[in-house]
Structure formats: C-alpha cells, structure tokens
Amino acid sequence: MDRDARRGLLLISPTALYAIALLAAPLAAILLFSFWSQDFLEIDRTLTLKNYREALTEPLYRLLLWRSLLISLAVTVVTVLLAFPIAYFVSFHVRPGRKALWIFLITIPFWTSYLVRVFLWKVILGFNGVLNTSLIGIGVIDEPLTFILYNANAVVITLAHAFAPFAILPIFVALEKIDRSLLEASRDLGESAMSTFFRVTLPLAMPGVVAAVLIVFIPTIGDYVTPRLVGGPDGLMIANMIQTQFLRLNNAPLGAALAVVAMVMVSVVALAFIWLNRRWLGGDGR
C-alpha cells in the first residue's frame, strides 16, 4: 500500500468506522435474526427459512408489502410530478439573482418538525378539518369528505408534501446545468418549444428526476410515522408491521425477515431505475 492510499484510508476511517458500527453491523444482525426463529421467550438459533416463508405467504404480510410498494410509488409519482414544474419555474423563469431566495423559501417547511407537519395534515384533512369546513362553507360539498383522512390517500398527500423539497432540489440542479444554447439549438433546428422540452430539456433533466425518485421512494417505503398518524387501518404499511413484530409481538426474527424483504424490494426498484437512466443516457451513466 503506498502513502497516498494509506493517507486516504486514514482520512475516511472515522466515517468508515461509524458506518460499519451503525449501519453495516445492524444490517448484518437483522440479516442473521431473519434466519433464526422465536420460540416463545427464547430465540432458537438454528438457521431456517421459516420466517421468509411466512412473510411471503401470509396474506396480511403480502397485502402490507404490496400496499407499501403501491403507496411509495404513488407518493413518488405525485411528488416528482409536483416538484418538476416548481423546479422548472425556478430554473427557467426566476431571474438569477432571485433563485437562491426561492430555493430558500422552498426549504422553509423543514423549519418545523416532521411530526408537527403530519399533525397539521390531520387538522387540514380531518372530518371537521380545515378542508372540509371550507368546502362546506363555500358550498362545494354538503357532507364532509371522508376519503381524505385515515386511508392510503392521506398517506400519499402527507408524504408527498413532506418529500417535495427533496425532489425539487435535484431536479432544479439538473435543470440549472442545462446549457441554454442547447434549447436554442433545438428551436433553430426546427423544433417547437413543446417538442424541445421533450427532446432536450426532459432527457437532460433525467439524472435529476431519477435522483428525486430514489430520494423519495427509498425512505417512503419504510415510513411508519405517517401511516400510523393519518393512515387509519387501511393506510398501514409494512414498516408498521415490522415495528409491531419487534415491539408488541416480540417476534424479532419475523420482523427482521419482513425488513429484509422490504429492503430487497427497494433495492430492486432502485436498481431498475438506475438501469433505465443509463439506458436513456446512452450508457454513460451520468
């Protein structure tokens, strides 16, 4: 090992140790647990696939895994679709001196706690909430809407709002990096403003969109605070079940197996996205 390599290792070692102690080790422990089994109060340490069989065949777990995947995908799609126009507006229509201010304003929701924001959505979406009373007040509806709280819709609305800034920022950065003369070149070569967007702007913004998708999708599939607070029984997700297995039912091995299954699902979807992105960009993987 030469001097540079040694110095490099020395430089990253605090971070590496931290990552090993707090990420790799717990992951390994979860993985190991998932192959053990719970025998009343004891843990049976013979290796078995029993938990995985249960996780993949028990209808309730399958439902929760499937629902988590669907809700996360819905949140991702909604968030990215809402984030793109905002990022586009700030990048293309705000004058350069004002962009930093706009980005700053977009991050303002982060000044309050995540929990507070979720509770506020309860206030907004509730049976006698802000939305329902206002809509009744102006005569749009006669009865309070009930499909907006304590179900999957509420989870999607709340999570989409919570993750919007995370999606706006990478898309904004990708749009900022686009050389504006490329758009003029496209116009010059005969394309309208609309087709220029689809042939030049969007493909070049894809790295930002993919980053946004991953940043939103990966954490939402494991979220358990929002489904617990606004999801009701129909909005519960797999993370709620993992929590229940670990803390209420005292079945850590099954909880671990469910966690591993969820992790594999996330990895598969994330890898698919990265692969698609590379295909789009002609294999150079930027």
Partner 1 sequence: MTDGARHPIVSLRDVEKFYGSYHALRGISMDIGEGEFFSLLGPSGCGKTTLLRTIAGFEEVSSGHVLLDGQNMDGVAPNRRPTNMVFQSYAIFPHLSVAENVGFGLRRSGLAGDEKARAVDEALAMVGLAGYGARSAQALSGGQRQRVALARALILKPRVLLLDEPLSALDKKMREQMQSELRRLQRHVGITFILVTHDQEEALIMSDRIAVMFEGEIAQLATPQELYRRPVSREVADFIGVMNFLPAEIRMGSGTAVEADIAGLGPAAIDSAQCPGALRPGRAEVGLRPETMTILPEGAPGEGHVAQGVVAEQSYYGDMTYYVVRLDGVDQTVTLSMKNRIGRAVLEPGMPARVSWDPRALLVFSG
Which stretches of the chain bind partner 1, using CB under 8 A? 179, 181-182, 184-192, 199-200, 203-204, 280-282, 284
Q: How far is the CB of 89 from partner 1 (least distance, A)?
A: 21
Per DSSP, helices labelled H in 138-192 are 152-176, 180-188
> For residues 106 and 174, which CB has a smaller minimum distance to partner 1 in the complex?
174
Q: Closest distance between partner 1 and the C-beta of residue 205, in Å? A: 10
Q: What are phi and psi of 68, to 5 degrees?
A: -60, -45
**Minimum gap (Å) between residue 169 Cβ and partner 1:** 21
Least distance from partner 1 to the Cβ atom of residue 188, Å: 5
CA distances 225 to 60, 213, 238, 243, 264, Å, are 20, 20, 12, 11, 21
Closer residue to partner 1 (CB): 203 or 232: 203
Q: Which residue's CB is nearer to partner 1, number 53 or number 98?
A: 98
Q: Indicate the Cα dihedral angle 252, 53, 234, 269, nearest 10°.
A: 100
Task: Quote the DSSP letter at residue 39.
Answer: E
Between 82 and 202, CB nearer to partner 1: 202
- Measured in degrees and rounded to the nearest 5, phi and psi for residue 232 equal 65, -175
Residues 137, 141, 142: CA angle, nearest 5 degrees: 85
Smallest gap from residue 170 Cβ to partner 1 (A): 17
H helices then E strands: how many in the chain? Answer: 14, 2
Residue 103: CB minimum distance to partner 1, A: 25
Nearer to partner 1, 233 or 282 (CB): 282
* Cα separation, 107 vs 111, whole angstroms: 8
Nearer to partner 1, 207 or 231 (CB): 207
Query: CB of 190: closest distance to partner 1 in angstroms?
Result: 5
Burial classification of residue 139, based on how many CB atoms lie within 10 Å of its CB (0-12 exposed, 13-18 middle, 19 or more buried) = exposed
Mark out the alpha helices in 58-138 (DSSP H runs): 59-93, 96-106, 114-125, 130-137
Closer by beta carbon to partner 1, 97 or else 139: 97
